[in-house]
Amino acid sequence: MSAETADLSPLFQPLFVHGKTLRNRIVMPPMVQLRPLTSPEGVAWYARHAQGGVGLVIVEATGVDRFGEEFTAADLEPLVSAVHEHGALIAIQLFPGTRGQGFAPAAMSTDDIDTLVTRYRRAAEQCAEAGFDGVEPHGAHGYLLNRFFSPIQNTRSDAYGGSLENRMRLALRIVAAVRPICADTMLLLYRHTPVGEGYGIDESLVLTEALVNAGVDILDISPASVEQAGDRAAPFTRFGVPVVAVNELDESSRALEVLNKHRADLVAIGRGLIADPDWPIKMLKGQEDAIVRCIRCDVKCFGNLRKGIPIECTQWEDA
């Protein structure tokens, strides 16, 4: 089926989750973009993507140690309001620490772990006061929470290491600390990598069932395989909560395959939305040919990120 004849309506079905309504199934995933979140440039970045028509904006990984001091609810409220003004919901990914800060499970004392859990709770409190629609603990991509889950990265011999139950403990403590703050005003998302160092889908499914039972509203599964759109997200749909899939879903045929084959409920578009924030609106209006396409060059997105400067896109020059 060609782009001209494809039924694009699955992309634009509303989704109702725990008292919140996403206007469509398109998600801007968390992508570090190096514009300070509370600066005019940072607010404008996220507002522009909300204006482009996504249903949910997930703000980039933000260290929980930054909340309450560097970021207060009053500081973050303009960002939330700017996204809401354009009709999108806004969540924020909560990162264990400041980006670039190294962690190893074995290096953390139990007091360190308790402090981290407390910081997650305090960050969630600031987010709730600022008006965010959701928070997302970052448990993927080999970062700290994912390291605790990995039997290779986690060499602890106490209650936080060894058995699967112990390796899940930190993630579940964080969810338990944040869930009451979310209550009925914020969604609780969780980002997880389905296959990692020393573990596979089976152990991930055990963790996921426990996360859902503990109150997670949306599962954000990343990264994905390129072989079949949404294939690594598909096993997680069994738990009855919406699942986000990623990976080259700015190709409408792949995004529709994910939704039509019920491999996930939401499609996240990363670099495609950097190239063209109006991807959703253009798709909705049948203007797919007008979309500025990401060419996977990684020059001004990942390239700028490595240089420590705000990300851009080479395709903007031709837009």
Contact 172, 215 (CB under 8 A): no
Residue 303 has pLDDT above 50, yes or no: yes
Residue 17 has pLDDT above 50, yes or no: yes
**Domain range for 236:** 9-318
Two tokens at 1?
A: 């089926």
Residue 2 lies in a domain: no
What pLDDT, on the 0 to 100 scale, is given for residue 223?
85
Residue 24 lies in a domain: yes
What pLDDT, on the 0 to 100 scale, is given for residue 103?
75
Residue 1 lies in a domain: no
Residue 12 has pLDDT above 80, yes or no: yes
Q: Which pLDDT tens digit goes with each residue over 224-241?
A: 877 899 999 999 999 999
Residue 101 lies in a domain: yes
C-alpha distances (whole Å) from 121 to each of 104, 110, 125, 200, 269 are 21, 17, 6, 29, 29
Mean pLDDT to the nearest integer, 104-121: 95
Q: Which pLDDT tens digit goes with each residue over 195-234?
A: 999 999 999 999 999 999 999 999 999 988 778 999 999 9
What share of the chain has pLDDT > 70, as a percent? 97
What pLDDT, on the 0 to 100 scale, is given for residue 99?
55
Mean pLDDT to the nearest integer, 114-128: 97
Residue 4 lies in a domain: no
| CA gap 176, 74 in Å, rounded | 25
Residue 319 has pLDDT above 80, yes or no: no
2 pLDDT tier (thresholds 50, 70, 90): very low
Residue 76 has pLDDT above 60, yes or no: yes
**Residue type for 222, please?**
S
What pLDDT, on the 0 to 100 scale, is given for residue 259?
98
What pLDDT, on the 0 to 100 scale, is given for residue 101?
58
What pLDDT, on the 0 to 100 scale, is given for residue 1?
40
6 pLDDT tier (thresholds 50, 70, 90): confident
What pLDDT, on the 0 to 100 scale, is given for residue 69?
83
Write the CATH number for 21: 3.20.20.70
With 0-12 CB in 10 A as exposed, 13-18 as middle and 19+ as buried, what is 69?
exposed
pTM of the predicted protein model: 0.95
Q: What is the count of structural domains for the chain?
A: 1
Residue 3 lies in a domain: no
Q: What is the mean pLDDT of the chain?
A: 94
Contact 189, 236 (CB under 8 A): no
Two tokens at 300?
A: 């001004």
Residue 41 lies in a domain: yes
Residue 173 lies in a domain: yes
